[in-house]
Structure 1
Amino acid sequence: MATGEQGQVRGASGGGGPVVDAGWTLRGGTDPDTAALANVLAHRGVVGPDGPLTEPLLLVVGGGLGAGYILWEFTHDDSRVVTLGFTHSWQYFDRRLAATVDRLGLDVRWSRTGGSVAAARALASTLEAGDPAIVWPDRYQVGYWNLPEFLDGQGGHPVVAYAGSDDRVHVDDRTLAPLTVPTAVLDRARARVGSYKNTMLVVQSSDTVVPADRLRAAVRDGLAATGDHLAGSSTSFALPAWRKWSRMLVDQRAAKGWPTVFADRRGLLRALAGVWEAVEPAGMDGGHLRGLFADGLAQAAAVLDEPALADEAQRWREIGQRWHLLAETALPDDVPAIVRLRELTATVTGAVAAGDAASAEREAAADRLWRLRAEHADASPLDEERLASIRTTMSTQLAAIHDAETGAVASLRAVLSR
């Protein structure tokens, strides 16, 4: 398995080449949305004029990066949860994929069946026809992430269902080895979240070359969407979110300031761990994706015959390193309990990539992880002085990230306007 706290969590397997399961090649991936689509297109033989439509390039076509910060407070269990967004339209489950397939001119079928029986039948029929389907299961309900019950119904990311056998469905969640889920469990997980209940996306295009002019327009439109989105004024869904978060970390008076919200320190480790998991690829969502976007920019430079985009790629790689340093600040690696928390998180993610063969390892690591998090739910292993220093340092780092991304967006838009 391929795990780590920097770079991609999952990638192509080693010297033996990728595993093929039930005719489906397990290629891994980073971002759930674009990895799912890239793998489906590769399976269906949909390519660009110069070869495969890669995950980084599809990230660009879909609108690229986003920015988002929300600190939720829930009265029913007195929890405080940090939500971060790193992709275009991150708050909408289907917009990036919808924009991507539309810009590429692909023939697709969306199914949004409300009834669970009909949805289960539609998925079974699709798999029996030999077609893979992108579906959205709830992470708790689908089982293999081994999450605690209080995360039931809080959603999940897209995965590919590509085959059915013996009352189980073969699922590709950026995996490198076969991963299966009981059919009834997957059906239940797909029906759990009301906002995207039983949604399914099936690519019907096959053995198709996306024309060069169509691909160029798709890449240019995606890059324009990146610039427009990040340059927006929203303090929750555009670059000003990083500036607001920077202030809230140290604001002693604001109702949503961290000194106020976490005055009793309850839930603080969960918040800091949530930051680390969202930013680093060791979590479930692929991390901040600035490096993946940089790879996409480098490929876009060739598609658009615009060498200046390669220079923009380097800007985003450097910004990605800033995000890594922020994550290191949030969960410092000189505290034994935090080191263990980080290790266990990466182990669970890596064991998901390793499929069914690593189910026992995954379950054991998840059990230890959530026991450790529960142990420190009300009492962080960091003392008050260290916590204050962490908040201050993160605030400074976020302000610098905001400025760096603002400058990078302006530079990207200038290149596109030529």
Structure 2
Amino acid sequence: MTSGKQLKARVRDRMARTGERYAVARAHVLGAAGGSGPVVDAGWTLRGGTDPDTAALANVLAHRGVTGPDGPLTEPLLLLVGGGLGAGYILWEFAHDDSRVVTLGFTHSWQYVDRRLAATVERLGLDVTWSRTGGAVAAARALARALAAGDPAVVWPDRYHVGYWHLPAFLDGHGGHPVVVYAASGDRVHVDDRTLAPLTVPTADLDRARARVGSYRNTMLVVRSSDAVVPADRLRAAVRDGLVATVEHLSGSSTSFALPAWRKWSRLLVDERAVKGWPAVFADRRGLLRALAGVWEAVEPAGMGGGHLRGVFADGLVQAAAVLGEPALAGEAERWREIGRRWHLLAETALPDDVPAIARLRELTATVSGAVAEGDAGAAERAAAAEELWRLRDEHAGAPLDEARLARVRTTMSEHLTAIHRAEASAVASLGAVLGR
């Protein structure tokens, strides 16, 4: 996977500094030397990816030989087909443990766990089977049958119970993202969570993780289409429908699930009178580091999710320009790349690495995420890093920032969000004009 501890350390250091995903950081560290091709495990090629949903589907389709008329159905293109980008901000306050949790959404329909994949496979006209049984025994049997038939399955495990993220108990039942289960070996299953080397999980742990969250308990998606080409007219319609969904969704008026969410969050970061304003909610500093770290981990691809995905969307626009024969779409891509850079600045502001404890926190987060990408070979390192990470987060729960620095952090984050809202609103309007909306 890597050529030694020094390379791993350099990759993870870059992840912590830049917020990049493991594969991207590794490619930069290796430079022109590159590396060997992708790892093949039990007949499954580990291709990595960024967005959990579209990476899972892209990898399944590649495995089954399902393509577009001009080549693979890539992760960026599938992101567009599924409705593209979204916007969302919610600050949860839970009375049972007096916790405060920041939730950010960056994809279309982010608040509905399986809706994007459902829309994607429907628009592409793929032959798929959904299983949504509530019973754990029946769900385990359905998965076993799929694997025995050689069919990889997309499932939605709870991150705490699936184990390899090594999360603390208070995150039990907080959900997770889709992964691909592609093989069984003894009492373990092989899981692709955008990994680049084999990652296995005890079957019992996966079964428990799949059954944990009631709203999507034991959901499973199996693609039946095989060695097929999505017709050109079907693909064009799917891409166009997905882009229209992006424009319509982001143009909505919701202050939680559309672009106004960024404007609301910008105001609440500095509003000292609002009940949900950060100055009031975090007046006692309880949960403050969790909130700030949550922003960094949600925005940057180095976290457990896919990050803000504006760059992946830009890549999709370039590909969509060819699919739709609309060169102006490629011209829209740079707008979204610039917006992605703005999101990176926001994340840097939220969790500044010139503070030693915060720098170490970022390093440990990158180590855990990087070691997941390294599969079973990284098991011991990610377990040790996670133990230190959560101990450090508990030790500095109120955030290691003095009041003056904290005020500057909130103010600068607010300014970044105001600029992001304006830039995204302008980019959405421009994209709508290209689409004739």
TM-score bracket, shorter-length normalisation = over 0.9
Distance 1:404 1:147 in 2: 35
- Which residue of 237, 240, 243 maps to 1:223? 243
- Which residue of 93, 96, 117 maps to 1:76? 96
Q: Give the Å deviation of 1:8.
A: 3.9
Q: Show the counterpart of 2:310.
A: 290
- Which residue of 285, 288, 297 maps to 1:277? 297
**Is 1:394 the equivalent of 2:407?**
no
Q: Give the Å deviation of 1:10.
A: 3.3
Map Cα deviations across residues 156-197 of structure 1 (whole Å, 9 max, x no partner).
000000000111000000000000001111001100000000
Q: Give the Å deviation of 1:380.
A: 1.7
2:401 maps to a residue whose letter is: L
Q: Give the Å deviation of 1:7.
A: 4.1
Distance 1:120 1:237 in 2: 34
Q: How does 1:316-327 map to 2 (within 5 A)?
A: 316-327=336-347
Aligned-partner SS, 1:33: helix
Would you say the 8 A contact 1:10–1:174 is kept in 2? no
**Is 1:340 the equivalent of 2:360?**
yes
Q: How does 1:6-405 map to 2 (within 5 A)?
A: 6-10=19-23, 14-377=34-397, 379-405=398-424
Q: Show the counterpart of 1:408.
A: 427
Distance 2:22 2:267 in 1: 31
1:47 maps to a residue whose letter is: T
Q: Show the counterpart of 2:7.
A: none
Aligned-partner SS, 1:208: coil
1:386 maps to a residue whose letter is: R
Map Cα deviations across residues 325-377 of structure 1 (whole Å, 9 max, x no partner).
00000011110000000111011001000000110001001001000000011
Map Cα deviations across residues 385-414 of structure 1 (whole Å, 9 max, x no partner).
100010011111100100000000000000
Report the TM-score when normalising by structure 1. 0.98
Distance 1:257 1:24 in 2: 48
2:341 maps to a residue whose letter is: Q
Would you say the 8 A contact 1:280–1:286 is kept in 2? yes
Would you say the 8 A contact 1:341–1:369 is kept in 2? yes
Following TM superposition, where does structure 1 have runs of at least 4 consecutive aligned residues deviating by more than 6 angstroms?
none
2:422 maps to a residue whose letter is: D
Would you say the 8 A contact 2:153–2:220 is kept in 1? yes
2:415 maps to a residue whose letter is: T
Would you say the 8 A contact 2:365–2:386 is kept in 1? yes
Aligned-partner SS, 1:228: helix
Distance 1:333 1:166 in 2: 44
Aligned-partner SS, 1:209: coil
Would you say the 8 A contact 2:210–2:217 is kept in 1? yes
Aligned-partner SS, 1:98: helix
Aligned-partner SS, 1:237: coil
Aligned-partner SS, 1:252: coil
Segments of structure 2 that go 5 or more residues without pairing to the other structure are 3-10, 28-33
Would you say the 8 A contact 1:113–1:197 is kept in 2? yes
1:37 maps to a residue whose letter is: L
Aligned-partner SS, 1:313: helix
Distance 1:115 1:8 in 2: 35
Aligned-partner SS, 2:274: coil
1:382 maps to a residue whose letter is: L
Q: Give the Å deviation of 1:71.
A: 0.2
Q: Give the Å deviation of 1:16.
A: 1.2
Aligned-partner SS, 1:169: strand
Distance 1:121 1:166 in 2: 15
Aligned-partner SS, 2:89: strand
Superposition CA RMSD, Å:
1.1
Q: Give the Å deviation of 1:322.
A: 0.2
Distance 1:38 1:6 in 2: 23
Aligned-partner SS, 1:113: coil
Distance 1:15 1:257 in 2: 48
Would you say the 8 A contact 1:64–1:226 is kept in 2? yes
Q: Work out the percentage of aligned pairs sharing the same amino acid.
A: 82
Map Cα deviations across residues 134-167 of structure 1 (whole Å, 9 max, x no partner).
0000000000000000000000000000000111
Distance 2:151 2:196 in 1: 20
Q: Give the Å deviation of 1:123.
A: 0.3
Aligned-partner SS, 2:86: strand
Aligned-partner SS, 2:273: coil
